[in-house]
Amino acid sequence: MHKKNIAIVGSGLVGSLLAIYLRKKEYTVTVFDRRPDIRNIKFSGRSINLAMSVRGWRALDAIGIGEEVRSIAIAMDKRAMHVNGKEEYYQYYGEEGEAIYSISRGVLNRKMITLAEEAGVEFRFEEKVWDINLPEAKLYTGETEKGEWKEYQFDHIFGCDGAFSRVRHKMQRRSRFDYEQKFLNTGYKELSIPANEDGTHKLNKNSLHIWPRGEFMLIALPNLDGTFTCTLFMPHEGEHSFEQLTDETKLMAFWQKYFPDTLTLMPTLVEDFTNNPTSALVTIKCFPWTYWNKVALVGDSAHAIVPFYGQGMNAGFEDISILIELLEKYEGEDWEVIFKKYQEERKPNADAIAELSYRNFMEMSSKTADHKFLLRKKIEKHFADKYPKKWLPLYSRVTFSHQPYSEALNIGDEQARIMDEIMKMDNIENCWNSEAVEQKILAMLEA
Ligand X SMILES: Cc1cc2nc3c(=O)[nH]c(=O)nc-3n(C[C@H](O)[C@H](O)[C@H](O)COP(=O)(O)OP(=O)(O)OC[C@H]3O[C@@H](n4cnc5c(N)ncnc54)[C@H](O)[C@@H]3O)c2cc1C
**Can you give the binding site for ligand X, defined by CB under 6 A?**
9-15, 32-35, 50-51, 128-129, 160-162, 166, 188, 231, 299-300, 307, 310-314, 316
Q: Which residue is nearest to ligand X (CB)?
A: 12
Instruction: State the minimum distance, in angstroms, from the CB of residue 166 to ligand X.
Output: 4
Residue 383 sits at φ, ψ, to 5 deg, of -70, -45
Nearer to ligand X, 10 or 94 (CB): 10
Side-by-side strand order, sheet with 5-9: 122-124, 28-32, 5-9, 156-159, 295-297, 290-291
Minimum distance from residue 183 beta carbon to ligand X (Å): 13
Nearest residue (CB) to ligand X, 170 versus 341: 170
The minimum distance between CB 190 and ligand X, in angstroms, equals 8
Instruction: Go through 272-302 and write b for each residue having 16 or more CB atoms within 10 A of its CB, e for each that does not.
Output: bbeebebeebebbbbbbbbbebbbbbbbbbb
Minimum distance between the CB of residue 1 and ligand X, rounded to whole angstroms?
Answer: 30
Cα angle 345-348-352, degrees, rounded to a multiple of 5: 135
Distances in Å between the Cα of 152 and the Cα atoms of 6, 70, 88, 192, 204 are: 11, 37, 57, 43, 51
> How do 73-76 and 216-222 pair as beta strands?
unpaired
Q: Which is nearer to ligand X, 57 or 387 (CB)?
A: 57
* CB contact at 8 A, 323 and 376: no
DSSP 97: T
User: Which of 129/217 has CB closer to ligand X?
Assistant: 129
Q: Residue 151 and residue 111: Cα distance in Å, rounded? A: 29
Question: Sign of the C-alpha dihedral, residues 365, 371, 372, 377?
Answer: positive
Q: What are phi and psi of 339, to 5 degrees?
A: -65, -40
Rounded to a whole number of angstroms, the minimum distance from the CB of residue 371 to ligand X is 27
When the beta carbons of 15 and 393 are compared against ligand X, the nearer one is: 15
Q: What is the DSSP string of 152-198?
A: EE-SEEEE---TT-HHHHHHHTSTT-EEEEEEEEEEEEEEEEPPPTT
| Shortest separation between residue 128's beta carbon and ligand X, angstroms | 4
Between vectors from CA 92 to CA 425 and to CA 102, what angle results, nearest 5°? 140
Q: How far is the CB of 445 from ligand X (least distance, A)?
A: 31
DSSP 3-state of 72? coil
Closest separation in Å from C-beta 225 to ligand X: 19
Cβ closest to ligand X, residue 312 vs residue 415: 312
Q: Is residue 104 classed as helix, strand or coil in its secondary structure?
A: strand
Name the minimum Å distance from CB 204 to ligand X: 18
